[in-house]
Amino acid sequence: MFLFSIYTRDDSQPLRPIITLWFLCFACLGFSANSLAKKEPLQVIANDTYISMHTGPGRGYPVFHVLEKGETITLLYSKTDWIKAVTAKGIEGWVHKRFMDDTVGTNGETVELGIPRRDEFSRRKWELGTTVGAFDNSIEVIGLHGAYRFTKNISAELRFSQATGRFSNSQFYSWGIVHQPFPEWRLSPFFTLANGQIDLSPNTNSTQESSKDNFFMLGLGLNYYLTHRFMARFEYNNYTTLPDRDKNGNIDEWRLGITAFF
Per-residue model confidence as pLDDT tens digits over 124-154: 889 999 999 887 666 788 899 999 999 989 9
Which amino acid type is present at position 199? Answer: D
Q: Which domains does the chain have, with CATH numbers?
A: 15-33+121-261 (2.40.160.20), 47-102 (2.30.30.40)
Q: What is the pLDDT of residue 32?
A: 45
d(CA 3, CA 139): 12
Per-residue model confidence as pLDDT tens digits over 16-44: 544 555 555 555 555 444 444 445 677 88
Residues 202-221 have a mean pLDDT of 80
Per-residue model confidence as pLDDT tens digits over 173-184: 999 999 999 988
Q: By the 8 A CB rule, do 132 and 261 touch?
A: no
Q: Is the pLDDT of residue 195 over 90?
A: yes
* Residue bearing the bigger pLDDT, 153 or 105: 153
State how beta strands 154-164 and 168-179 pair.
antiparallel
Q: Is the pLDDT of residue 52 over 70?
A: yes
State the pLDDT confidence band at 113, using cuts at 50, 70 and 90: low
Q: What is the pLDDT of residue 33?
A: 45
d(CA 229, CA 242): 38
Q: By the 8 A CB rule, do 193 and 157 touch?
A: no
The DSSP line for 160-191 is EEEEE-SSEEEEEEEEEEEE-S-TTSSEEEEE
Residues 155-180 have a mean pLDDT of 87
d(CA 223, CA 183): 9
Q: Is the pLDDT of residue 73 over 80?
A: yes
Q: Is the pLDDT of residue 198 over 90?
A: no
Task: Give the rounded percent of residues in the chain with a pLDDT score beyond 70.
Answer: 70
What rounded mean pLDDT belongs to the chain? 77
**DSSP-assigned beta bridge partners for residue 234:** 222, 256
Q: What is the pLDDT of residue 237?
A: 93
